[in-house]
């Protein structure tokens, strides 16, 4: 008997797998930060990443990523962004982002602080990351009034996010 095997086509019954990169922008001065983030939006950030990909990895690197590169979240107040990239090529995007030196013509470094399989994992990590930053600020504050105000802010944030962390 001749048994025919069914060949799976990529578009058929297959799920697109992606990774989410949690990015943090670091600027050398507050002036550079204001200039860069004043007009930054998802479209501009995607454009800067595409330019970096093209210069670092060429046409092939850009083509591998371009179809599914997506800025899912951008917060210019907290200098944080979440990108969706293809799972097979997330290291390509990661290297291009790490080597970016300017954003909107302002000197900037972009740190990838977390890589996750879902947006929710990035959100959870971001909440813990911000909590640790606030805790470090609390420990480094000099006056009692500063500490009291920071404790109140931390408790307020924890109530909103309903996180079981202790202050």
Residues 138-167: tens digit of each pLDDT: 888 888 888 888 888 777 766 665 544 444
Do 25 and 79 touch, CB atoms closer than 8 A? yes
| Cα-based angle 14, 22, 77 (whole degrees, multiple of 5) | 135
Residues 39-63: tens digit of each pLDDT: 899 999 999 999 999 999 999 999 9
pTM of the model: 0.78
Residues 69-99: tens digit of each pLDDT: 999 999 988 899 999 999 999 999 999 999 9
Q: What is the pLDDT of residue 164?
A: 47
| C-beta pairs of 34-43 under 8 Å, 24+ apart in sequence | 35/104, 35/105, 35/106, 36/103, 36/104, 36/105, 36/106, 36/108, 37/76, 37/79, 37/104, 39/104, 40/74, 40/76, 40/103, 40/104, 41/74, 42/71, 42/74
Residues 98-139: tens digit of each pLDDT: 999 999 889 999 999 999 999 999 999 998 998 888 888 888
Instruction: Work out the average pLDDT over 17-23.
Output: 95
């Amino acid at each position: 008997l001749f048994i025919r095997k069914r060949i799976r086509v990529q578009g058929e019954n297959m799920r697109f797998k992606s990774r989410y990169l949690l990015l943090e922008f670091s600027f050398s001065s507050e002036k550079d930060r204001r200039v860069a983030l004043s007009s930054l939006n998802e479209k501009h950030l995607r454009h800067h990443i595409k330019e970096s990909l093209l210069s670092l990895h060429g046409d092939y690197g850009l083509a591998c990523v371009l179809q599914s590169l997506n800025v899912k979240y951008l917060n210019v107040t907290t200098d944080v962004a979440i990108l969706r990239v293809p799972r097979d090529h997330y290291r390509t995007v990661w290297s291009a982002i790490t080597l970016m030196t300017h954003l909107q013509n302002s000197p900037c470094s972009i740190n990838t602080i977390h890589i996750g399989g879902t947006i929710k994992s990035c959100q959870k990590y971001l909440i813990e990351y911000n909590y640790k930053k606030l805790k470090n600020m609390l420990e480094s504050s000099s006056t009692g009034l500063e500490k009291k105000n920071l404790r109140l802010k931390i408790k307020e944030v924890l109530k909103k996010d309903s996180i079981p962390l202790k202050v």
